[in-house]
Amino acid sequence: MSTPVAGGKADIVRLTRLAGEAAREGRWDEVIHCYSERGALLESIHDMPLPIEELLKMDGELRDRIQTAQAVLEDLLAGAQMTKRQVQGLRQRLAVPPSQPETLSREA
């Protein structure tokens, strides 16, 4: 009877580790998926001791990665906005009519 409990604990830790690995590689959809599965497991498990310290440590590391990724994205967006303003300023000074919005394609 201890197998489901041990398996539940092991699955929770495994999903948390997988989420951390996915975050390191920037696979955010997988992070969300792992945490959703982990949440469902945690809801289904009652009165089972969990490795709380280990989970909190891994959660903290993941939170730090998320905050770092958010800061990088904010920085990149600010840089893109500044470049866009510079291009608009050049167009105005050169009296170039505004062009249609450009779209990016992922095709190689």
Residue-wise pLDDT for 78-89, tens only, equals 999 999 999 988
Amino acid at 47: D
The verdict on pTM exceeding 0.75 is: no
- Answer yes or no: is 56 within a domain: yes
- Interior/surface letters 16-36, b for 16+ CB within 10 angstroms, e for the rest: bebbbebbeeeeeeebeebbe
Residue 56: is its pLDDT beyond 50? yes
Contact between 34 and 19 under an 8 Å Cβ cutoff? The reply is yes
Domain housing 72: 2-94
Q: How many separate domains does the chain show?
A: 1
Alpha helices by DSSP H, the chain: 2-24, 28-44, 52-94
Please report whether residue 72 resides in a domain: yes
CATH number, domain of 9, equals: 1.20.58
In a domain, 15, yes or no: yes
Q: What percent of the chain has pLDDT over 70?
A: 81
Per-residue pLDDT, 102: 64
| Cα 108 from chain centroid (whole Å) | 26
